[in-house]
């Protein structure tokens, strides 16, 4: 169930080290900082102008209201800090629902993206009833490709993403494999 400060009705999901929760006002700053960082947000969609990055944060909140799912804020249990975002993304022009992930500066190399994405995928299949998920990865994002492979996803095809340009679609194992 969503916390009192949540801007959405996103459920609260937990893992051993993480809390996946709906975005809150306090999350705007770390999300905006990530989006404005040209190097870190390159494979996600760098937004150099602060006002546009704020609008993307509002889009993150609105996606939950439109679809009933979206990106969770990934909170590090130990520190209480926002460590990234992960969840299910399906805006206009996307070919299928996407399992996405981002880890914020200072949280890399700890397996947070894998842990968060695994939990979000389990929720998508078990609670939302989705039957398939993809991850859309820009061709040069080797780290995300390695994580997709670690999650069991396989490259399926390259397509033109109207927001990102050339994108690779990686197909995740279905509910039968994940929920077994």
- Asked if the structure places residue 150 within a domain, the reply is no
Domain hosting residue 37, numbered range:
13-129
Tens-place pLDDT, residues 20-65: 999 999 999 999 999 999 999 988 999 999 999 999 999 999 999 9
Is 59 a domain residue? yes
Phi, psi of 135 (to 5 degrees): -130, 130
Average pLDDT (6-10) is 93
- Residue-wise pLDDT tens digits, 72-106: 999 999 999 999 999 999 999 999 999 999 999 99
Confidence class of residue 163 from pLDDT cuts 50, 70 and 90?
A: confident
152 within domain boundaries:
no
Q: Does residue 168 sit within a domain?
A: no
pLDDT value at position 43? Answer: 87
Which pLDDT band holds residue 3 (cuts at 50, 70, 90)? Answer: low
- Among 172, 141, 175, residue whose Cα is nearest residue 156: 172
> Does residue 73 form part of some domain?
yes
User: Is 157 a member of any domain?
Assistant: no
Provide the token pair at 146.
Answer: 């390695």
What's the pTM value of the predicted model, to 2 decimals?
A: 0.94
Which are the contacts of 167, defined by CB distance < 8 A and separation ≥ 6? 136, 137, 138, 139, 158, 159, 160, 161
| Residue 24 domain-assigned (yes or no) | yes
Section 15-20 average pLDDT: 97
Distance CA 119, CA 37 (A): 26
CA–CA separation, 31 and 83 (whole Å): 10
Residue 158 is assigned to a structural domain of this protein: no
**CA–CA gap between residue 135 and residue 100 (Å, rounded):** 6
Number of domains in the chain: 1
Instruction: Give the domain CATH number at 72.
Output: 3.40.630.30
Instruction: Check residue 11 and report its DSSP letter.
Output: P
Residue 1 scores a pLDDT above 60 = no
Dump pLDDT digits (tens) for 111-139: 999 999 999 999 999 999 999 999 999 99
């Amino acid at each position: 169930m969503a916390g009192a400060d949540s801007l959405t009705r996103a459920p609260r999901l937990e893992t051993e080290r993480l809390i996946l929760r709906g975005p809150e006002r306090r999350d705007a700053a770390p999300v905006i900082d990530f989006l404005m960082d040209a190097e870190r947000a390159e494979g996600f969609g760098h937004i150099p102008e602060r006002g546009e990055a704020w609008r993307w944060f509002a889009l993150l909140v609105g996606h939950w209201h439109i679809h009933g799912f979206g990106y969770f804020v990934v909170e590090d249990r130990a520190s209480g800090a926002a460590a990234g975002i992960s969840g299910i993304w399906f805006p206009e022009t996307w070919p299928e629902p996407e399992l996405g992930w981002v880890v914020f500066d200072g949280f890399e190399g700890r397996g947070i993206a894998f842990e968060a994405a695994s939990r979000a995928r389990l929720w998508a299949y078990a609670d939302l009833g989705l039957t398939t998920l993809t991850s859309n990865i820009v061709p040069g994002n080797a780290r995300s490709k390695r994580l997709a492979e670690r999650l069991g996803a396989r490259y399926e095809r390259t397509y033109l993403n109207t927001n990102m340009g050339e994108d690779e679609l990686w197909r995740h194992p279905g509910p039968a494999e994940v929920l077994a």
